[in-house]
Structure 1
């Protein structure tokens, strides 16, 4: 029997910008045996998309209506979010869900919605990478429950404790990146999971997973749990990607013209088993 877990993964666009509809989909996903329910995090998208929902508010409703699904934003561009606010949001959502939150984090992109440039946010990838790592450092400290003393490129926190803590003392962090690039793999190895972007072939995944394993072995963390969450359409050879190191399948969908019925069809077809 496969060990690959399966998650519904949807953009909160147009029909799916209605939180009540997303909650119904999450409840159906749980009833049909899916393991997770993750949502995109965007503030703008290219046409024809018009309406978007906030992921944190939507996920709070999903958490209250379900009992076993892992859930979270997949992925959130931390460079445009205040880490101290995310620390509060994440701990609150984790406790509301009973410890089911997974935080997906990445650089984001201005390509599809100009959601950095149109709001005066940082558009340089290297600078956003620095802000991402700084924010992750803050979150790790905040979830510890100890006083946070931090000065970094993203701001200053002067002796603040963030209570209550997440249910299990921390929140799993999966970081996103291109599998062939060195820095995303180094970042991923420092955290709890990897979400490869634009993956085309299982061999790409196998190479990235091997490198992450090497880095974790060097850091002495190879024995701790680790996830590799691969966004793929249902038509992909999921067994081949599982053999290459995937532990999660994120059911990838085309965001343009996506309807509630489209996602419900994916949910009812059932997870990969």
Structure 2
């Protein structure tokens, strides 16, 4: 199992210099990955939030080995052509270390859809997500992208330069029991279940995906939480999670410097 740090860029972590230093410390301590949340706004008491993409670029330039990425970016509230440019650029800057977490996004915790005039219908956001993933996959190939869908248009554009990786790994996020995201996850390189309550939920999801060959399954657990049941259920990555509404920088730094649990 690989181990990653997973941080919301809120309040004390909204300073990108703090996140870059933590990433360097994580690399030195033996962590395998460093992933950040992608949010525009969060409920109180959170007051500050940093841009994940600019922060990840700084982390990419300041590290050499860590796998990095947004975990997860809500593609339906982003323009896929811009994400194609951002992901290829970040993958090249990091030397091929980008993993892209994707999901529908939601309105529950910070009103990120209603407050910014975004699409709130889950079904339509699912369509937008699938279209955006088709565009990204085509863009990364280096061939001309010709897409005319219900939500996006790309009219014969070639996106160069291409990423370092032949295909940037995509991890699809989903809440437990959601069947359509599991079918979507089976088409890509990984699965990131949100808010798991017990390992049996993970085992059921992994069985439903049925991906052949190497496949990443990431779970988020609090520091010190026993990962053995999740490892047995199919997890390949353990992301160490922290309370987003009570972020203690000293505690986070101590966990990071102690290195990953085994």
- TM-score, scaled relative to structure 2: 0.98
CA RMSD between the two structures:
0.9
Match of 1:190 in 2: 187
Match of 2:159 in 1: 162
Report the Cα offset of residue 170 of structure 1.
1.8
For 2:159 and 2:81, locate their aligned partners in 1 and report how far apart those are by CA, in whole Å.
9
For 2:55 and 2:141, locate their aligned partners in 1 and report how far apart those are by CA, in whole Å.
26
Confirm or deny that 1:82 pairs with 2:79: yes
* Deviation string, structure 1 residues 1-53 (Cα, Å, up to 9, x no partner): xxx11000000001101000000000000000000000000000001111111
The question of whether the paired residues in 2 share the 8 Å contact of 1:12 and 1:40 is answered with: yes
| Partner residue of 1:127 out of 103, 124, 127 | 124
For 1:50 and 1:131, locate their aligned partners in 2 and report how far apart those are by CA, in whole Å.
29
Confirm or deny that 1:20 pairs with 2:10: no
Gaps of 5+ in 2: none
Report the Cα offset of residue 55 of structure 1.
0.5
Match of 1:106 in 2: 103
| Partner residue of 1:241 out of 230, 240, 243 | 230
Match of 1:219 in 2: none
Confirm or deny that 1:70 pairs with 2:67: yes
For 2:174 and 2:48, locate their aligned partners in 1 and report how far apart those are by CA, in whole Å.
27
- TM-score, scaled relative to structure 1: 0.94
Match of 2:245 in 1: 256
* Deviation string, structure 1 residues 127-176 (Cα, Å, up to 9, x no partner): 11111111001000000000000011331101000011110222000000
Which shows bigger deviation, 142-151 or 152-161? 152-161
For 2:246 and 2:200, locate their aligned partners in 1 and report how far apart those are by CA, in whole Å.
32
Gaps of 5+ in 1: 217-221
| Partner residue of 1:200 out of 197, 201, 204 | 197
Match of 2:45 in 1: 48
For 2:169 and 2:209, locate their aligned partners in 1 and report how far apart those are by CA, in whole Å.
16
Aligned length in residues: 262
Report the Cα offset of residue 234 of structure 1.
2.2
* Deviation >4 Å, runs of 4+: none
